[in-house]
Chain A
């Protein structure tokens, strides 16, 4: 395996060089025109890097009240929502859900998708006794089911109730989203799609439905659409008081 390792290194250098030249080219296409984002094109052999921090910005004013397209898209992408025939509704997996909140004083009703908030200092990662609940270098929080023992401490620790436990034997899982009995699972921001430079399934569905309430992007890249929007209009964290520095931010709360 050593030759592949060294190839890998060389490739990395090459890619870095290409990326840098691409960045220069991207910035100087024409005077006055600055590209928001140069496609960074992560190669399959590249590791998730701490030069990125993936995040999401959700505009609750754009989020349509009856619409559950993001939930359905997540189910289709990751294969949850069916197959748990012996579990009660409370037990069944839920990676993302639509929440409706009403302001009692004004009667203002808001609708928003709620999922793992991909905290920087994630309580689920903190409490995990095996290291299964983990954060990738690019900020994505997920469960390594290979070493998850199903103790569910993380479910207790999560302030957003974002995690589910699988109570029964599953089969015919998606190749990109293995899930099974005795392990905890949650939104992983579609890590398999992110690694291919695609948007998470929910974000894609939201823009497909022409709501455009969800933006996905790199919080560390000042020129990404999400960073520009956050700089311009700001974004709130749910339970900001906990100081978790979530990767998922909301507008209009």
Chain B
């Protein structure tokens, strides 16, 4: 007959073993979107409360897109460009995550929820200016090589592209 103490010990082990996979999988329970840039902080929230954004960001974007595109309203609130500028941040290695990459702000959730977005068929998935960084990282990409060969890149971009080539 098991003493009460022994039973308690077994119970702890059993509960521990059952909980282990749950704890180790805790990170996989939901998407982990990267933190926004300086504009948003602990004090300043996103343009709408986070819960509201999670649920309704698509409606805000759609409303805004029609206002801007068809009526010429150029306010920044709810503009996709502003979302991208603030939320698409470089990864730890300084590289920018692209759409489709789970480290990209939009993809972090959209991949998880398996919801396709076609915004980025036309809109850039990176903040403007971040592309220089990208060119330097994708030097071997023939597409970018061709761009450079056309002489259509700015001097700055070319410098970034060719930096380290002579080393």
**Chain A interface residues (CB < 8 Å from chain B):** 4, 42, 44-48, 75, 81-83, 85, 134, 136-138, 142, 144-146, 169-175, 178-183, 191-192, 194-196
A175 to B122, CA, bound (A): 10
A50 to B73, CA, bound (A): 14
Contact with A along B136-148 (1 / 0, CB 8 A): 0000000100110
Q: Is the CB of B69 within 8 A of A85?
A: no
Besides A175-B123, A183-B122, 18 other CB < 8 A contacts? Answer: A4-B77, A44-B76, A45-B73, A45-B74, A47-B67, A81-B152, A82-B152, A83-B147, A137-B71, A144-B70, A146-B65, A173-B122, A173-B124, A175-B84, A181-B121, A191-B72, A192-B74, A196-B74
Q: Which residues of A contact B72 (CB under 8 A)?
A: 42, 46-48, 136, 138, 191, 194-195
The answer to the question of B161 belonging to the interface, with a C-beta cut-off of 8 Å to chain A, is: no
Shortest B59–chain A CB gap in Å is 10
- Supposing A82-B147, A146-B65 touch, asked if A44 and B123 sit within 8 A by C-beta, the answer is no
Q: How many residues of B contact A (CB 8 A)?
A: 29
Q: Is the CB of B128 within 8 A of A44?
A: no
A194 to B152, CA, bound (A): 26
The answer to the question of B126 belonging to the interface, with a C-beta cut-off of 8 Å to chain A, is: yes
Q: Is the CB of B73 within 8 A of A46?
A: yes
Contact partner, A146, options B67, B69, B125, B128, Cβ 8 Å: B69
Q: Which residues of A contact B51 (CB under 8 A)?
A: none
Most interface-central of A83, A146, A170, A174 (chain B CB within 10 A) = A146
A173 to B143, CA, bound (A): 14
Q: Is the CB of A136 within 8 A of B71?
A: yes
- Supposing A82-B150, A83-B147, A180-B121 touch, asked if A172 and B131 sit within 8 A by C-beta, the answer is yes
The answer to the question of B111 belonging to the interface, with a C-beta cut-off of 8 Å to chain A, is: no
The 4 closest A-B pairs by CB, nearest first: A180-B122, A48-B72, A178-B122, A180-B121
For the A-B complex, the count of residue pairs with Cβ-Cβ distances under 8 Å equals 74
Q: Which residues of A contact B71 (CB under 8 A)?
A: 47-48, 136-137
The answer to the question of B81 belonging to the interface, with a C-beta cut-off of 8 Å to chain A, is: yes
Q: Is the CB of A44 within 8 A of B74?
A: yes
The answer to the question of B116 belonging to the interface, with a C-beta cut-off of 8 Å to chain A, is: no
Shortest A182–chain B CB gap in Å is 7
Residue of chain B at shortest CB distance from A179? B122
Q: Which residues of B contact A137 (CB under 8 A)?
A: 71
- Supposing A47-B71, A136-B72, A138-B72 touch, asked if A85 and B124 sit within 8 A by C-beta, the answer is no
A174 to B128, CA, bound (A): 7
Q: Is the CB of A47 within 8 A of B73?
A: yes
A172 to B138, CA, bound (A): 13
Q: Is the CB of B69 within 8 A of A171?
A: no
Q: Which residues of A contact B73 (CB under 8 A)?
A: 44-47
Residue of chain B at shortest CB distance from A191? B72
Q: Would you mind naming 15 contact pairs between A and B with Cβ atoms under 8 Å apart?
A: A4-B77, A47-B67, A82-B147, A82-B152, A85-B143, A145-B122, A146-B65, A146-B66, A172-B131, A174-B124, A174-B128, A178-B122, A183-B122, A194-B72, A195-B74
The answer to the question of B75 belonging to the interface, with a C-beta cut-off of 8 Å to chain A, is: yes
Q: Which residues of B contact A170 (CB under 8 A)?
A: 122
Q: Which residues of B contact A191 (CB under 8 A)?
A: 72
Shortest A45–chain B CB gap in Å is 5
The answer to the question of B106 belonging to the interface, with a C-beta cut-off of 8 Å to chain A, is: no
Q: Is the CB of A175 within 8 A of B74?
A: no
Residue of chain A at shortest CB distance from B85? A175
